[in-house]
Amino acid sequence: MISVSNVSMRFGAKILFEDVTTAFLESRRYGLTGPNGAGKSTFMKLLSGESEPQKGTVVRPKKLGILRQDQFAFDAYRVIDTVIMGNLPLWKALEEREILYAKAELTDEDGMRLGELEGVVAEEDGYTAESDAAVLLDGLDIPEPLHNRKMGELQGGQKVRVLLAQALFGGPQALLLDEPTNYLDLESIHWLQNFLTHYNGTLITISHDRHFLNSVCTHIADIDYQTIITYPGGYDDMVMHKTQVRTRIESENAQREKKISQLNEFIARFSAGTRASQVTSRKKEVERLQTTDLARSNIARPFIRFDMKRPSGRTALEFKNVVKGYDGLEVINGFSASLQRGQKIALMGRNGAGKTTLVKALLANAPGVDDKDVSIDSGVVTWGHEVQVGYFAQDHRESIRGGTTVTEWLHDWDPQASREEIRGLLGQMLFSGEEGSKPTDALSGGEAARLIFCKLMLQKPNFLVFDEPTNHLDLESINALNIALQKFEGTVLLVTHDEDLVDEVANRIWYFDSGKVEDFLGSYEEYNTTVSK
């Protein structure tokens, strides 16, 4: 169990949460939610002990599994050792034992210390540590040949999965996982969901993956109204309950306001007359009926709508025998397909299977795309009549020119757009007031993503290509993107590991596996039904 008592945190005049008292109980799985900037990561650091609260106390168990955010901290260590470090007492015992065994001669004192260390190793299941760590790594798609490699040799996404295995290792009494699904493919996410639903300790996770929260969590701890309120159920249950409570209070306030207005009218009419006792009674009634003050929610919901200047021809894209590879390795080998206007294709499969590779190959001669990182090795790609492509790259931050402001950068994409139109788009994506003058170099990942959405809404293309658009978005922005893509009448290529986004948007699936691409015409639900037969 983890408990907090009267905890407060603020930055300057901004209050994140104040006098919070709550407990996270054993065998419960909590999703910590709230928009970007609400204080989720700050609260997680308080729970882990990385930071101290400005006020109040935090009580935590001895064994705590924490998902580390620094990808480079373990570069000098083997992958398997990095995982075992998740159990720090065991790791220290193993290190000290190795030093003693390396001595040419052991003293009596060394022998006694070795006995103590062997006791620690046995108690912490150290004799099966490497095999237990290997099971976790395999489940997270880190193959055995990498287990003895140095962390510094791994790619960024692989490092994140090793650090996730580190947090899960050693049977911690509580798990603190900040964005555990980032950089995981759907198979790895499913493995993690299954692992966590069978975990018996206390789980607290921050995630912007609605499907993950609904699948894993028994409770949601929501940071809003400068406090933390815990709701039973998954994320959708929390949203429904929170909305119902808010609606009920607003309705009760409206009824009270109406009653107060009627009473004040009576008081105004008869305060100088002979009905003084009734006036006094009405004044007391007004005091009793004072409406409940509604704290202001810190949730801000963007509005995304993708319109088209003009529709494309019936066939939006056709390609034959596309080949694309890197460093002499063919990742895409002779894939052919034809895309009709209005189709929304989800590109799915394990990390490294070739999804982004294919996207970049197809965009090599795409109308409206000027990106140095797109090319094709061989094959024929033919874009349809009147097609205009809008592209959201996985490394989208690099596509925003530095040395300018948010407003100026957006205006460069359509010099004919009025300042009012630019301000309106920025406002829809939560760049309010002076934030339009913010330097593009100072944008966070989420702000950069929202600015790219502004660009796409300004350009109004009829063919949208998204490569991992949800990585830096909060739940409200992801939901807004989901709705916008469902309503979009053009064609979509979508690379994402967000299961709800795939399930609710896609009407065609390209599944990448072992160098081949399976082309399935139908929804993700229909695809799963077909595969399971």
* pLDDT per position as a tens digit, 222-279: 988 778 889 999 999 998 888 777 667 666 777 777 777 877 887 777 776 667 777 7
297 pLDDT band, cuts 50/70/90, is low
For the cut 90, the answer to whether the pLDDT of residue 480 exceeds it is yes
**Spatial contact of 312 and 460, defined as CB atoms under 8 Å apart:** no
The DSSP bridge partners found for residue 23 are 3
Across the range 98-124, mean pLDDT stands at 89
* Greatest alpha-carbon span in the chain: 108
| Cα distance between residue 179 and residue 169, in whole Å | 17
H helix or E strand, kind and range, residue 362: helix 355-362
| Fold of domain 315-532 | Rossmann fold (3.40.50)
Contacts within 8 Å (CB) and 24+ apart, 407-412: 407/436, 407/437, 409/440, 409/451, 410/451, 410/454, 410/455, 410/458
The whole-number average pLDDT for the span 142-163 is 89
- Other C-beta atoms within 10 Å of 428: how many? 17
Residue range 79-84: mean pLDDT, rounded:
95
**Closest to 223 (Cα-Cα) out of 474, 26, 473:** 474
Pairing between strand 2-11 and 463-467? unpaired
State the DSSP string of 10-44: EETTEEEEEEEEEEE-TT-EEEEE--TTSSHHHHH
Mean pLDDT across the chain? 88
At 340-381, the pLDDT tens digits run: 999 999 999 988 888 998 998 899 888 888 776 677 888 999
Alpha helices in 88-175 (DSSP H): 88-101, 108-123, 129-139, 156-168
Q: Phi and psi at residue 419, in whole multiples of 5°?
A: -60, -35
Of 433 and 1, the one with more pLDDT: 1
The pLDDT tens digits for 432-465 are 888 888 999 988 888 999 999 999 999 999 999 9
pTM: 0.78
Q: Report the alpha-carbon distance of residue 505 to residue 503 in Å, rounded.
A: 6
CATH 3.40.50.300 domain range(s) in the chain: 2-238, 315-532
The pLDDT score that the predictor gives to residue 320 is 94
Question: 């999965």: which residue's tokens?
Answer: 161
Out of 151-160, 181-190, 326-335, 397-406, pick the least confident: 326-335
**Helix (H/G/I), strand (E/B), else coil: 335:** strand
Q: Distance between CA 312 and CA 342 in Å, rounded?
A: 9
Taking the C-alpha atoms of residue 127 and residue 132, their distance in angstroms, rounded to an integer, is: 10
Tell me what percent of the residues of the chain surpass a pLDDT of 90. Answer: 50
Q: Nearest CA to 348 among 173, 520, 116?
A: 520
User: Please, how many CA atoms are within 13 Å of residue 428, restricted to the half-sphere of its CB?
Assistant: 20
What's the CA dihedral at 233, 235, 241, 243 to 10 degrees?
180
Residue 299 pLDDT greater than 80, yes or no: no
Q: Which amino acid is at 17?
A: F
Q: Which two tokens stand for residue 271?
A: 């305060």
- Does position 427 have pLDDT exceeding 80, yes or no? yes
What are 10-48's pLDDT values in tens digits? Answer: 887 778 888 899 999 999 999 999 877 788 888 999 999
End-to-end CA distance of the chain: 42
What is the mean predicted confidence (pLDDT) over 379-394? Answer: 93
Cβ atoms of residues 485 and 496 within 8 Å: no
Alpha carbons 131 and 137: distance in angstroms, whole number: 10
Cβ atoms of residues 43 and 9 within 8 Å: yes
Beta bridge partners of residue 115, listed in sequence order? none
> Are the CB atoms for 494 and 359 separated by under 8 Å?
no
pLDDT of residue 424: 93
Q: Domain 2-238's class?
A: alpha beta
Point out the least confidently predicted range of 272-286, 428-442, 477-491: 272-286
* Beta carbons within 8 Å of 73's beta carbon, 6+ residues apart: none
Could you give the percent of the chain with pLDDT greater than 70? 95
